[in-house]
């Protein structure tokens, strides 16, 4: 008689670690991670701790253990870094909006430069390339031209702010020090007036309620304001009274828009957008180029630093007026139109149809006829342009955080433009993509970090890449 084979029990792996959960230890912080957490080691075991700075000796309590690394919370700072400063924001320790306010601004800029350099070396295996000092802001506060604020309810009315780190708990705020003051005022007025009329907030647990998000936009150069109310359904109670009072209370308001999002999702916008009052667009300028901004347009949130970033891209493109340029991931045409000021012709491609319509509108707005925009995937459209004879002297890429599609990078190598200008919002994917371009016969000449988001760990870069292999005719 055959015996049934018993299943082996799988046991939870036990790691031989030098620490235990909730254990109190002391260690010295060696560096910051790409997330802004302090990095320390205890008997060779790597530990990540929020809110600490390089060089500090700290006491911590272990909160989470993994085989190769763990996490801890700060108990006490034994030896403090000279770069530590008191965060000016009263809700800084609770809010997840920015995480480096305790770090001196000059030290933040050097951390970001070093972060880019480390990624190039570690991921891209690229060494010896100049990574210039990060271009910072003279006043690194009140720089954001857009706020996206989730709305909730407490006794006494509506609340709105940012989520606490790694939660969906809304931290109510009166003022955010990285937002333009007009954004603060718009959000406060919506909370006050909507509370007055009893308009309920959306509650994601039951998928009931009305007001999900308040989105505000400010034209830094023009002073024009847009307010977007994201609602859970078409119905907006007391709509006329709400709109009338908002218009009376907020000077400079040019547009009030309703966006309808009925999905159970963390995505802010739904598919339906309608103007409740005023115009469909507000306007702003970057340098001498004017842009129309709709409720759902992507537009860089720090216009002061955007001008510096795009000016660097234009410098690296080294245009004389005779070049054809391709702008992959062109969005609403911000970089394309900057380049068109000096190029013979710019071809922009973008996968989002609405963005291409905005790009064409912005070209008309500026009277620029030496631009062509097309909807599609860059890795599909650009090879077709190449076959049609649209040869690019310069290719500019400004991809999302995931970096360039591999097929696009292969296309660039095949097209052999003399220069590639890479605008990046993620040093890790920048380094990965530069490695592929270098393997395809290109050389990274220099990289310029730009601080688009002071007091956060994010850093933008502009990299110049040139052909290093030129075939003799």
CATH 2.40.50.1070 residue ranges in the chain? Answer: 146-286
Rounded distance between C-alpha atoms, residue 169 and residue 149, angstroms: 12
Is the separation of the CB atoms in 378 and 420 below 8 Å?
no
Rounded distance between C-alpha atoms, residue 108 and residue 81, angstroms: 13
How much is the pLDDT for 11? 44
Rg (CA), the chain: 25
* pLDDT digits (tens), the chain, 473 positions: 444 444 444 444 556 899 999 999 999 999 999 888 999 999 999 999 999 999 999 999 999 999 999 999 999 999 999 999 999 999 898 887 788 999 999 999 999 999 999 999 999 999 999 999 999 999 999 999 999 999 999 887 899 998 887 788 899 998 999 999 999 999 999 999 999 999 999 998 899 999 999 999 999 999 999 999 999 999 999 999 999 999 999 999 999 999 999 999 989 999 999 999 999 999 999 999 999 999 998 899 999 999 999 999 999 999 999 999 999 999 999 999 999 999 999 999 999 999 999 999 999 999 999 999 999 999 899 989 888 888 899 999 999 999 999 999 999 999 999 999 999 999 999 999 999 999 999 999 999 999 999 999 999 999 999 998 654 33
Q: What is the distance between the terminal CA atoms of the chain, rounded to a whole angstrom?
A: 82
Task: Give the closest residue to 444 by CA, choosing from 456, 455, 433.
Answer: 433
Q: Which CATH class is domain 111-138+302-467?
A: alpha beta
CATH code for the part of the protein at 24-79: 2.40.50.140
Is the separation of the CB atoms in 279 and 216 below 8 Å?
no
| 176 catalytic per annotation | no
Count of alpha carbons within 13 Å of 148, Cβ hemisphere only? 11
146-286: CATH, from 2.60.40.1930, 3.30.530.20, 3.40.1160.10, 2.40.50.1070: 2.40.50.1070
**Tokens 């601004």, residue?**
105
How much is the pLDDT for 13? 54
CATH 3.40.50.150 residue ranges in the chain? Answer: 111-138+302-467
Residue 421 structure tokens: 């200008």
**In the chain, how many H helices and how many E strands?**
9, 21
CATH 2.40.50.140 residue ranges in the chain? Answer: 24-79
How much is the pLDDT for 469? 61
Burial class from Cβ neighbours inside 10 Å (0-12, 13-18, 19+) for residue 22 reads: exposed
The pTM for the full model equals: 0.91
Strand-pair partners of 215: 148, 228
Chain centroid, CA 229 distance in Å: 22
Task: Name the catalytic one among 89, 95, 330, 425.
Answer: 425
Q: Which long-range contacts (CB under 8 A, 24 or more apart) does 272-279 make?
A: 272/234, 276/229, 276/236, 276/239, 276/243, 277/243, 277/247, 278/247, 278/253, 278/254, 279/254, 279/255
Q: Spell out the residues 6+ positions from residue 349 whose beta carbon is closer than 8 angstroms to its own.
A: 326, 327, 328, 329, 330, 373, 374, 375, 376, 377, 378, 381, 382
DSSP string, 283-325: EEEETTEEEEE-TT----S-HHHHHHHHHHHHHHHT--S--EE
Helix (H, G, I), strand (E, B) or coil at 191: helix
State the CB neighbour count (10 A cutoff) for residue 291.
26
How much is the pLDDT for 388? 87
Residues 186-196: b if buried by 16+ CB within 10 A, e if exposed: bbbbbbebbbe
Is the separation of the CB atoms in 123 and 431 below 8 Å?
yes
How much is the pLDDT for 7? 47
**Tokens 């996968």, residue?**
351
Q: Which helix (H) or strand (E) holds 63?
A: strand 57-65
CA dihedral 15, 16, 18, 24 (to 10 degrees): 40
Angle among Cα 412, 303, 313 to the nearest 5 degrees reads 30
Is the separation of the CB atoms in 52 and 74 below 8 Å?
yes
DSSP string, 320-380: -S--EEEEES-TTTHHHHHHHTTSSEEEEEES-HHHHHHHHHHHHHTT--SEEEEES-HHH
Strand pairing category for 419-424 and 394-397: parallel
Burial class from Cβ neighbours inside 10 Å (0-12, 13-18, 19+) for residue 14 reads: exposed
How much is the pLDDT for 52? 96
Task: Give the closest residue to 89 by CA, choosing from 80, 78, 77, 102.
Answer: 102
Strand-pair partners of 284: 291
How much is the pLDDT for 165? 75
How much is the pLDDT for 389? 84
């Amino acid at each position: 008689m055959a015996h049934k084979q018993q299943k082996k029990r799988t046991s939870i792996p036990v790691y031989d670690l030098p620490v235990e959960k909730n254990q109190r230890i002391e260690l010295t912080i060696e560096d910051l991670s790409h997330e802004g957490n302090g990095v320390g080691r205890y008997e060779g075991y790597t530990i990540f701790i929020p809110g600490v700075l390089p060089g500090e000796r700290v006491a911590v309590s272990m909160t989470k253990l993994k085989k190769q690394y763990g996490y801890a919370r700060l108990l006490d700072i034994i030896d403090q870094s000279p770069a530590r400063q008191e965060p000016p924001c009263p809700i800084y320790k609770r809010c997840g909006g920015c995480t480096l306010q305790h770090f001196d601004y000059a030290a933040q800029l050097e951390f970001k430069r070093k972060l880019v350099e480390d990624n190039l070396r570690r991921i891209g295996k690229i060494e010896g390339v100049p990574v210039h000092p990060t271009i910072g802001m003279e006043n690194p506060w009140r720089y954001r031209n857009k706020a996206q604020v989730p709305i909730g309810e407490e006794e006494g009315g509506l609340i709105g702010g940012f989520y606490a780190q790694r939660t969906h708990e809304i931290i109510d705020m009166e003022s955010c020090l990285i937002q333009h003051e007009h954004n603060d005022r718009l959000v406060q007025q919506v909370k006050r007036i909507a509370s007055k009329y009893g308009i309920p907030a959306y509650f994601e647990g039951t998928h009931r309620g009305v007001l999900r998000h308040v989105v505000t936009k400010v034209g830094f150069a023009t002073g024009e304001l847009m307010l977007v109310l994201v609602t859970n359904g078409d119905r907006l109670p007391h709509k006329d009274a709400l709109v009338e009072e908002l218009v009376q209370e907020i000077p400079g308001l040019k547009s009030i828009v309703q966006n309808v999002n009925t999905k159970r999702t963390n995505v802010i916008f739904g598919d339906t957008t309608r103007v409740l009052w005023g115009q469909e667009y507000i306007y702003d300028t970057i340098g001498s180029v004017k842009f129309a901004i709709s409720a759902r347009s992507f537009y860089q949130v720090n216009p002061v630093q955007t001008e510096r970033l795009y000016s660097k891209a234009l410098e690296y493109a080294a245009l004389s007026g005779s070049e054809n340029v391709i702008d992959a991931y062109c969005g609403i045409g911000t970089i394309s139109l900057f380049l068109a000021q000096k190029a013979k012709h710019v071809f922009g491609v973008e996968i989002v149809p609405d963005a291409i319509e905005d790009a064409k509108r912005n070209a008309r707005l500026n009277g620029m006829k030496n631009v062509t925009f097309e909807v599609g995937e860059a890795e599909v459209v650009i090879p077709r342009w190449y076959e049609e004879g649209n040869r690019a002297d310069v290719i500019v890429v400004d991809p999302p955080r995931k970096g360039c599609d591999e097929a696009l990078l292969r296309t660039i190598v095949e097209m052999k433009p003399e220069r590639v200008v890479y605008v990046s919002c993620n040093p890790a994917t920048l380094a990965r993509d530069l490695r592929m371009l270098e393997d395809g016969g290109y050389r990274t000449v220099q990289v310029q970090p730009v601080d688009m988001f002071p007091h956060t760990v994010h850093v933008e870069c502009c990299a110049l890449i040139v052909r290093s292999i030129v075939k003799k005719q």
